[in-house]
Amino acid sequence: MSVVYGIIITRSYMPGFFEALQNLPERKPKKYFITVQGKEYEVSLKKKKWAQAEGENNLIVVDGEIVVKPSPAYARYPLLVKSDKGYIFQDNDMHWPNKISEGGVIWQIESE
């Protein structure tokens, strides 16, 4: 004959517990806001995370849409410009300058 030892589990709960859970007020969805150009906008959580990753200072509003500011051009390249004295190229090939004379061209970066 074998004897099994164990614990008898009984259900005991607080009276009114489940009724209290049913009477809890509904939870309102959280609202997310970002500040762009000094004005506050309500956005979704995904847009809020995107704005934090980009940095709210780097955002602008274009046609009612929040977008990243375009980055300023950091590379400026010289152009061939007519000059009083400049290069004369062989067969108009800029890789083969022949001489420097009146009415030639020079490499110049346009000023802003």
Q: Where are the domains of the chain?
A: 28-68, 79-108
Count CA atoms closer than 13 A to 31's CA, side-chain side.
5
> What's the whole-model pTM score?
0.49
**Structure confidence by residue, pLDDT tens digits, 69-102:** 998 878 788 888 888 998 888 888 888 888 888 8
Burial of 51 (0-12, 13-18, 19+ CB in 10 A): buried
Q: Are 106 and 81 in contact (CB under 8 A)?
A: yes
Please tell me the total number of residues recorded for the chain in this structure: 112
| pLDDT of amino acid 107 | 85
| pLDDT of amino acid 43 | 95
Locate 109 and state its tokens: 């970066």
